[in-house]
């Protein structure tokens, strides 16, 4: 099936986009092409592939047929022109920035990010000579003020981990566009079923495919999706895409590949040199997960709305950050950015503080105490002592991961069973 011609709905595309019966065997499910390399037709064919004059398969660090189907499917669901899959969500973030940045350049990033992303941006990227400026993205004037001559990207999450805050992508996208910069949106918590950042001004969309896209907690993976609409040659800010590439005899990616310039660069340079490759078995698991994405997300949201409302009215709880609650300051924004629901990730302030949070996670039976989200199973973690442990107290507060807070990822189990589990654990934790 191709996506040219008729306009198909999301539920059809999540099953069929990018996939065709295997030409050799007629296999209906996408095969796992567990191979390292591919036989060239002849020396001329090999030379054309290596010189980027022909598209095809060379070596599985770069391209693989199973992964190619996944890339096309995610790009289609997000409304992009191309995608590059890689080994994890963290790898996807580095892959996303790699063509944009040079030593001395910076990215303006939201303070409301996954703790590991804050650490990656505040510490690790310094080793590349890059830096990050963290800003509260609800303060649009502060976002504008943070952008300087060395800024090369604006980065945020659509539904922020851990608090479930929803970013005003339309407003932030306009700021980035006015500054001639790409807006990079991590859409992991929302998935393209709940939010399509490209329709709100994003240039690039990144995913930890480990989470909701796969949905079963089996494999890690990441993906970068490109809109194909950004003019990389409009200024001298992005020489990796607009200027001659020495490794390919002076080829200019944007001039040569047009809308697919960023995607080709991600494969031909990013995967070639960084080697953050997704394996084909992981791609296969993720493809199977995506086939039921809409069904799962509907149940995730339905359960999250019910459980968040119950928690908000429980006297042992200080607050619930779920944007799907009418009391949330992000309720109106949800209707624009995530009209099908606010996802299934939020935080809860527990009376009794740090000690009560620890007792809560230790007492739950159905909820799994793990460092993951987006599973079919319900998950919980105390972020301040785990995922956000490396952050300063101020950074933890800014990220919504204070010591009295637990992060909850609501699964697709029976909602009443989950409420009963929380009720018993809160009784033990809070008395």
205-228 per-position pLDDT tens digit: 999 999 999 999 999 999 999 999
Q: Please, what CATH class does the domain formed by 10-289 belong to?
A: alpha beta
**pLDDT for the residue 397:** 79
How far apart CA 188 and CA 160 sit, in angstroms, is 9
Q: Where in the chain is the domain with CATH 3.40.640.10?
A: 10-289
Q: pLDDT band at 1, cuts 50/70/90?
A: low
Question: Which segment, 161-165, 223-227, 399-403, is predicted with the most confidence on average?
Answer: 223-227
Token pair for 47: 């030379």
If you classify domain 294-430 with CATH, what class do you get?
alpha beta
User: Would you state the pLDDT for residue 110?
Assistant: 97
For residue 181, the model assigns a pLDDT of 98
CA atoms of 267 and 273, how far apart (whole Å): 9
The segment(s) of the chain belonging to CATH 3.90.1150.10 are: 294-430
DSSP character string of 156-186: EESB-TTT--B--HHHHHHHHHHTT--EEEE
Whole-angstrom Cα distance, residue 414 to residue 344?
A: 14
Least reliable range by pLDDT among 124-128, 269-273, 391-395: 391-395
- Rounded to two decimals, the pTM is 0.94
The percentage of residues in the chain with a pLDDT greater than 90, rounded to a whole number, is 90
Alpha carbon 308 to chain centroid, angstroms: 23
Q: Is residue 10 pLDDT above 90, yes or no?
A: yes
| 3 pLDDT more than 50 | no
Lowest mean pLDDT among 107-116, 151-160, 172-181: 107-116
- 151 and 184 Cβ atoms separated by less than 8 Å: no
Of 37, 30, 82, which Cα lies nearest the Cα of 61?
Answer: 37
- Nearest Cα neighbor of 206 from 186, 226, 229, 189 is 186
CA distance 223 to 68: 11
pLDDT at 162: 85
Q: Supply 268's token pair.
A: 């031909």
Sheet holding 379-381, edge to edge: 317-320, 345-350, 405-409, 379-381, 368-369
CA angle 219/224/228 to nearest 5° reads: 155
């Amino acid at each position: 099936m191709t996506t040219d011609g008729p306009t198909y709905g999301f539920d059809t595309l999540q099953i069929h986009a990018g996939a065709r019966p295997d030409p050799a065997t007629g296999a209906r499910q996408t095969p796992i092409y567990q191979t390292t390399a591919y036989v060239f037709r002849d020396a001329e064919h090999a030379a054309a592939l290596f010189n980027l004059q022909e598209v095809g398969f060379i070596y599985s660090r770069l391209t693989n047929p199973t992964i190619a189907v996944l890339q096309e499917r995610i790009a289609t669901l997000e409304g992009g022109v191309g995608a590059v899959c890689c080994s994890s969500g963290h790898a996807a973030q580095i892959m996303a920035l790699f063509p944009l940045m040079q030593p001395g350049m910076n990215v303006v990033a939201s303070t409301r990010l996954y703790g590991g992303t804050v650490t990656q941006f505040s510490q690790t990227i310094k080793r590349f000579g890059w830096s990050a400026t963290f800003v509260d993205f609800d303060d649009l004037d502060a976002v504008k003020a943070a952008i300087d001559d060395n800024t090369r990207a604006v980065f945020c999450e659509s539904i922020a981990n851990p608090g479930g805050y929803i970013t005003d992508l339309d407003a932030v996208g306009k700021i980035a566009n006015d500054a001639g910069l790409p807006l990079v949106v991590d859409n992991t918590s929302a998935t393209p079923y709940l939010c399509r950042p490209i329709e709100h001004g994003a240039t690039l969309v990144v995913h930890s495919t480990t989470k909701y896209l796969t949905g079963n907690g089996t494999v890690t993976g990441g993906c970068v999706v490109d809109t194909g609409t950004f003019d990389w040659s409009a200024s001298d800010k992005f020489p990796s895409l607009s200027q001659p590439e020495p490794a390919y005899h002076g080829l200019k990616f944007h001039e040569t590949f047009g809308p697919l310039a960023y995607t080709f660069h991600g494969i031909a340079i990013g995967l070639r040199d960084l080697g953050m490759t997704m394996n084909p078995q992981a791609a296969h698991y993720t493809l199977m997960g995506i086939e039921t994405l809409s069904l799962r997300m509907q149940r995730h949201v339905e359960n999250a709305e019910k459980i968040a409302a119950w928690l908000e009215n429980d006297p042992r709880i200080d607050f619930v950050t779920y944007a799907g609650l009418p009391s949330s300051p992000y309720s109106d924004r949800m209707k624009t950015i995530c009209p099908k629901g606010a996802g299934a990730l939020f935080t809860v302030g527990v009376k009794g503080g740090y000690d009560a949070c620890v007792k809560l996670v230790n007492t739950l039976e159905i909820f799994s105490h793990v460092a993951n989200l987006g599973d079919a199973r319900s998950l919980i973690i105390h972020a301040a002592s785990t995922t956000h442990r490396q952050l300063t107290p101020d950074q933890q507060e800014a990220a919504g991961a204070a010591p009295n807070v637990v992060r909850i990822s609501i699964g697709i189990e029976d909602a009443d069973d989950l409420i009963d589990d929380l009720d018993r654990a809160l009784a033990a934790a809070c008395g």
